[in-house]
Structure 1
Amino acid sequence: MGEPEHLHMTYNDVHKTIEKSAKQIAAEFKPDLFIAIGFFPARVMRTFLKDSVTKRNIPIYAIGLSLYEELPGTTAEQIGSQVIRTQWLGPESGKTLLGRRVLIVDEVDDSRKTLHYAVSELQADVEREIAALPEEEREAKRTKFAVFVVHNKLKEKLGSLPDDVPYYAGENTEDLWLDYPWEASDIEDHDRLADEEKASGKFKNAIKSV
């Protein structure tokens, strides 16, 4: 199997996409806590969203999930068969999330397996805490989740999200390998390739309206 076709995103590309999406999320969901699978997009999102009540910065918690595995003999990667949890919120994650409006943030929705895992596991953490509360307190403490991704790949998904979890995507893209600047070891070469893709029309053709 050869190298997949790549598309290079710049910091400016990502920043502007998040800025555009933040207005809709502020109007419709009003998060008061971020959970970052992709930390850089979550940090940029916080620039544009403040807590709707306190007007202060919204706290960011990070989780680490891995789904990709290397292809032998190449520098490419493929989607793995299972999600591996590399970092979580801690033993009392459910208590941290009780009654909050949580926006889960990632850079890309590829197979949706990672997002499915994150939402399912976080909801399970919350439900364990809810079950320990007096019955009359449970409804007020239920957590609301939503998902934001900078890029959604237009492809068949292997995972799913609950119907009551709002889903926001900054942009839809063709099924290409998306290279982000925070993953680049040579940022100047990365930006040069991004400029070439824009000049050739490849970038414009790969990005689809949401």
Structure 2
Amino acid sequence: MEQYNFTYNDIHNTIRTSAEKIKASGFEPDYLLAIGGGGLIPARIMRTYINKPILIVSLSRYSDETGTAPSETPVKLQWLETDTNLDGKKVLVIDEVDDERTTLQFTLNHLYDTHPETEFAAFVVHNKLKEKKGTLPERLSHFFTGEDIHDYWINYAWDAENIDQFGKK
């Protein structure tokens, strides 16, 4: 099976370049919003270049306790506090990969439902070049991708059980 092994350096460099593109676009977020778990580390790296507070939402794509049965619809595990006032703000939603697009669709639709006066943009480190099951909301002001890649399995450094062996052939 074809696969990618992305090191921390790979991710950091991709996000640095992407932050420059985001700034050049004129989109200046008031907040970064990480989709946990995969978006947590990219959001923190993005904060190095776009120094704004990080908010977090967490979803699960698995419908049972063993983590083996993919769910068609993500389930909210952690969401924004109801007193988080985002009205009139700009928020950059961050995740590691746009694979089927169901996570981005679910997250953005719920964000728009609860924060209709907020301008949202999205950033993914990797966008898989394939047909997507989900769609991005028409209201989304910008969709930024760090790198477009083939539809191969992705191994991220933060998922490695043995980081000393990660990426070695």
* TM score, norm. by length of structure 1: 0.72
**Greater Rg, structure 1 or structure 2?**
1
Equivalent residue number for residue 66 of structure 1: 60
Q: Indicate whether 1:7 and 2:11 are aligned.
A: no
Q: Indicate whether 1:153 and 2:128 are aligned.
A: yes
8 A Cα contact 2:63 2:69, kept in partner: yes
Q: Indicate whether 1:32 and 2:7 are aligned.
A: no
More helix by share: 1
Call closer, same or farther: CA 1:10–1:69 in 2, change over 3 Å. Answer: farther
Call closer, same or farther: CA 1:77–1:25 in 2, change over 3 Å. Answer: farther
Equivalent residue number for residue 106 of structure 2: 117
For structure 1, the 5+ residue unaligned runs are 50-56, 128-141, 197-210
Equivalent residue number for residue 85 of structure 1: 76
Secondary structure at the aligned position of 1:12 is classed as: helix
Number of paired residues?
Answer: 163
- 1:135-150 aligned at under 5 Å gives the runs 142-150=117-125
Q: Indicate whether 1:171 and 2:169 are aligned.
A: no
* Cα drift, residue 30 of structure 1: 1.1
Q: Indicate whether 1:18 and 2:15 are aligned.
A: yes
Root-mean-square deviation (CA, aligned residues, Å) is 2.0
* TM score, norm. by length of structure 2: 0.88
Percent of paired sites with the same residue: 43
* Cα drift, residue 144 of structure 1: 0.7
* Cα drift, residue 115 of structure 1: 0.2
- What residue identity is the alignment partner of 1:154? L
Call closer, same or farther: CA 1:170–1:77 in 2, change over 3 Å. Answer: farther
* Cα drift, residue 177 of structure 1: 1.3
Q: Indicate whether 1:48 and 2:85 are aligned.
A: no
Distance 1:123 1:14 in 2: 28
Distance 2:18 2:62 in 1: 27
**Cα deviation per residue 1:90-126 (whole Å; 9 max; x = unaligned)?**
2334x2x111110000000000000001100011111
